[in-house]
A and B are shown apart, each in its own frame.
Chain A
Amino acid sequence: MNDRVEKTIEIKAPVSRVWKALTDYREFGAWFRVRLEGPFVPGKPAAGQITHPGFDHVRMEVVVQKMQPERLFSFTWHPYAVEPDVDYSKETPTLVEFTLEPSPNGTLLRVVESGFDKIPAHRRGEAFRMNEGGWGAQMGNIERHVRQAA
């Protein structure tokens, strides 16, 4: 177990093409299945209605962080925010980062979603201070142990 989700996919298309599919809000909307109302601009929110079957009651809202052409696109949002009446704005958002690099067959695209370990501000404090360094590996160990013990 880890405090982040990381996925990599190879796409048989030039980096410039993948960049456009990621950052043009209409193209993003087509594959992500969201009807975004405006373009992605760093530091600005972008929102729209999800069009994915079964989730079309959900409004998606992200705040764009970085756009480094053909290299990095990132935004913050509230993951799995599928309950229309729940106010997720008080929850600490997670960070989604897309990184692109050329590969022999096209583009290697990686997405990392992190920040699941963040907690509501009123609970932050000395006792909750995050430890530096990779606790992911330790968590994996703990989890294996727990499974064996169960």
Chain B
Amino acid sequence: MSDKRLSKLAALKTRATVFAALGDETRLTVLAKLLSGEPQSIARLTEGTHLTRQAVTKHLHVLESAGVVRSSRAGREALYELQPRSIEDARAYLDRIAQQWDDALNRLKLFVER
């Protein structure tokens, strides 16, 4: 496979993973805490939730493997940061699909009403 094809396939997988990663209420709760744009520690992200640190860590890993968040280290602590680009990409993809359906349905309308 060429690089281009590989990257297309990777993009497909990534999008599916982003949609799946966002399809969970707990992960959305974690994500909501990252919307300020500030990198935050697992401790901070666990605060004020009924979740365990382990659960938050697990959900952060799912979000990270989908490219929705990025982690970095500050000393011994891992910090997590939102990657808005991944969400925008997934949205742009759905917009393209929606546009294709608009075009197809308009052709159907013309075809039937002519």
Known: A83-B8, A91-B12, A131-B24. A113 touches B101 (CB 8 A): yes
Query: Does B96 make an interface contact (CB < 8 A)?
Result: yes
CB-CB under 8 A from B23, the residues of chain A are 3, 117, 130-131, 135
CB-CB under 8 A from B113, the residues of chain A are 11-13
Q: How many residues of A contact B (CB 8 A)?
A: 51
Question: A36: shortest Cβ distance to chain B, in Å?
Answer: 14
Q: How far is the CA of A147 from the CA of B26 in the complex (A)?
A: 21
Chain A's closest residue to B83 (CB) is A146
Interface members, chain A 70-113 (any B CB < 8 Å): 79-80, 83, 85-86, 88, 91-92, 109, 111, 113
Chain B's closest residue to A127 (CB) is B62
CB-CB under 8 A from A120, the residues of chain B are 13, 16
Question: B61: shortest Cβ distance to chain A, in Å?
Answer: 8
Query: Does B72 make an interface contact (CB < 8 A)?
Result: no
19 contacts between A and B (CB under 8 A): A3-B19, A5-B94, A5-B97, A80-B97, A109-B108, A111-B101, A117-B19, A117-B20, A118-B20, A135-B22, A139-B22, A142-B28, A143-B91, A145-B35, A146-B82, A146-B87, A147-B84, A149-B35, A149-B82
* B94-A1 in contact (CB<8A): yes
* B87-A111 in contact (CB<8A): no
Q: How many residues of B contact A (CB 8 A)?
A: 52
Chief secondary structure at chain B's binding surface: helix
Interface members, chain B 1-44 (any A CB < 8 Å): 1-2, 5, 8-9, 12-13, 15-17, 19-26, 28, 31-32, 35-37
Chain B's closest residue to A125 (CB) is B62
Q: How far is the CA of A147 from the CA of B101 in the complex (A)?
A: 26
User: B residues within 8 Å of A by Cβ?
Assistant: 1-2, 5, 8-9, 12-13, 15-17, 19-26, 28, 31-32, 35-37, 58-59, 61-62, 82, 84, 87-88, 90-91, 93-94, 96-98, 100-102, 104-113
